[in-house]
Chain A
Amino acid sequence: MAETHLTPRNIPDRLEGRGARLLKSWESLLFVVACLIFLGNSLASPYFLDPWNLSDATFNFTEKAMIAFAMALVIIAGEIDLSVASVIALASTAMGYAVQLGFDTPALVAIGLSVGLLCGAINGLLITGLGLPSIVVTIGTMSLFRGLSFIILGDQAFTGYPDSFSWFGQGYVWWVFSFEFTLFVVLAVVYGVVLHKTNFGRAVYAIGNNQTAALFSGIRVGRIKFILFLLTGLMAGLASICLTSRLGSTRPSIALGWELEVVTMVVLGGVNILGGSGTIPGVVLAALIMGMVTFGFGLLNVPGIVMSIFIGLLLISVIALPILWRRARHRLAH
């Protein structure tokens, strides 16, 4: 009896090896930039390489980075959420109001997270339910949420947060590792796993690359998008708890302009603003770079506007580089 064994044909799922891909990747470029900045900072200021100073420096980016993780998923899915900073303001105002009514820390945390979720749900419903473009909806809710804070607070401030509440923004888990930084690391891992190791993450990429194809492949596009907006809302609520705790007070102007810094962080992290690609390690590196640049320049008392210029240049160059690189390769090939 002649048996014919069909040997399975090996089709490589990657054209290049893992190492080569990694070397050419965006993340390794960011890693090199991060190392250079770290080196530059250490050489330029004697105060940079101090564990406590570095720990203080992490507060420059941890809250924004929490939102940036969720924002990365939203942008990869081809959408955007510009209301996050206003969600921070509204959640903070709600917590401040609760303090006046005598609520304690656990209730405050619950309120902060719930307001964030609620805002996310409103965005999600308008976008997926009514099919409105996310940029329009979230520009609208950006004004709406902060507007509500202004109506409630006017030129006043909520203060008097309980002492135990200050731990979220000012407390340390172990040695120099603040609660915020620990949370940042944990969330980075969680988001990394969700985006890169789960079906949900695959679906997010699929939606960003071709929404129609994703829909016909059986991916519940609307539901996944709704979850993504819930997530940015939740993260904004979380960031609001940390920031409010760190400031120990609430004013309606809290976190003003942060939505753009969060988007900058995501784009700098190599997430395609048009959707479809990007990684969490990239966003982590971008957060570290932005934090180190701000802190390093701050140590040398470089005026803030120079930092903004530097971040702007960095952003433009990292966006332009791959395009230039592709063109150059194209030209060399022909």
Chain B
Amino acid sequence: MKILKSLMVTAAVSLALMANAAHAENKKIALVVKALGIGFFEAANKGAQEAAKELGDVEVIYTGPTSTTAEGQIEVINSLIAQKVDAIAVSANDTDALVPALKKAMDRGIKVISWDSGVAKEGRMMHLNPSSNALIGNMIIKLAADNLPEGGDVAVLSASATATNQNTWIAEMKKVQGNYKGINVVATVYGDDLADKSYRETQGLIQSYPNLKAIIAPTSVGIVAAAQAVTDAGKIGQINVTGLGLPSEMAGHVKSGASKSFAIWNPIDLGYSATMLSYDLINGAEAKPGAELKMGRMGTVKLDDNNEGAMADPFVYDAKNVEEFAKIF
């Protein structure tokens, strides 16, 4: 009983102290993530704090449930509504289940945006995508072309033949292929996002196309498998593996030279931009189709008919920065 009491008192007192530390006059922007303790989102918080520092009168509340459940996120959102925050920027665990809670937030005058993982249209004012299909399609071929000033043969290792994302990106890539002189896309193979199948398909590519200069794998499973296959075949330096991958999984292959560079969204920029956009909305900017909203150092975002916008080109990781980001995600 005594222990319990003193525990309660300690808890209450320490909480009271924490509450008083907050400044009342600041704009409160809540960055709600899928779950706490995930490197990707910790990095987004870093970006949000950077934005808050730049803006001056903003306090960022970084919060989220313990596990990636919609119910947990709703509890968090309810407590944010109660605190009368000015804006909620959420990466949703469930597209639909958060809608009633977020609608309530908007009814009470809170600005709501989603980022990274979106909320259905009626539950938010706008959604920030990390990038767009066109930007990704352009980026993956640019990464290959940048290291091939003379041009050459490149092949694509995709996920499954029916994967919507990858097919869209490859189609976008082919649209802009003409901008990269001498780059010749010789084949597209499918590794089904399985490590062993992707590995075998890469081996097949290496054998079938002796002049192959680069492999583009717009899938985080494929890019690792391809880099491994190139390494095992002793083709480091001849064939450059690039595409979309995770820094933590690719750091070793960048170090070995199997991959000179690859891309993926930058969570720091994402958290930064989400905070900037929330701030715009608090200050009266309107999120409507065609609107252009400011995102500080990230430029502007233009909203489409669904009030969705793309932040930027995928962020390029190479030998200079991959180690640093490998620690994050």
Residues of chain A touching chain B, judged by Cβ–Cβ distance below 8 Å, are: 29, 33, 36-37, 39-41, 43-48, 50, 52-53, 56-57, 59-60, 157, 159, 166, 169-170, 243, 246-249, 251, 253-257, 294-305, 307-308, 310, 313-314, 317-318, 321
Contacts and interface: CB of A to CB of B under 8 A. Distances in A.
A300 B22 CA distance: 10
B16 A43 contact: yes
A308 to B, nearest CB: 6
B272 to A, nearest CB: 20
Contacts of B9: 36, 40
B81 interface: yes
Nearest to A293: B11
Contact of B4 (A33, A59, A248): A33
B96 A304 contact: no
Contact of A47 (B8, B71, B83): B83
A298 B4 contact: no
Interface size class of B (residues with CB under 8 A): 35 or more
Interface in B37-92: 37, 61-67, 69-72, 74-76, 78-79, 81-84
B319 interface: no
Contacts of B12: 36, 39-41, 43-44
A33 B63 CA distance: 27
Contact of B81 (A41, A56, A60): A56
B100 A33 contact: no
Interface of B: 1, 3-5, 7-9, 11-12, 15-16, 18-19, 36-37, 61-67, 69-72, 74-76, 78-79, 81-84, 94-97, 99-100, 120
Contacts of B36: 303-305
Contact of A166 (B37, B97, B100): B100
A44 B19 contact: yes
B interface SS class:
helix
A295 B61 CA distance: 16
A247 B82 contact: no
19 contacts: A33-B4, A36-B8, A40-B15, A47-B84, A52-B82, A59-B74, A60-B75, A157-B95, A247-B70, A247-B74, A247-B97, A248-B100, A249-B97, A251-B97, A254-B70, A254-B97, A256-B71, A295-B78, A307-B66
A298 B97 contact: no
Contacts of A50: 82
A251 B74 CA distance: 15
A57 B11 CA distance: 20
Contact of B82 (A53, A256, A307): A53
Contacts of B97: 157, 247-249, 251, 254
Given A256-B69, A304-B65, A298 B96 contact: no
A298 B67 CA distance: 15
Contacts of B96: 157, 159, 247-249, 251
Give the top 4 A-B pairs by smallest Cβ distance, nearest first: A298-B79, A40-B12, A249-B96, A304-B66
Given A243-B71, A294-B75, A302-B15, 15 more contacts: A29-B1, A33-B4, A44-B16, A50-B82, A57-B78, A60-B75, A157-B94, A157-B96, A157-B97, A251-B70, A253-B69, A254-B97, A257-B69, A295-B79, A300-B15
A317 B19 contact: no
Contacts of A166: 100
Given A40-B12, A257-B67, A45 B78 contact: no
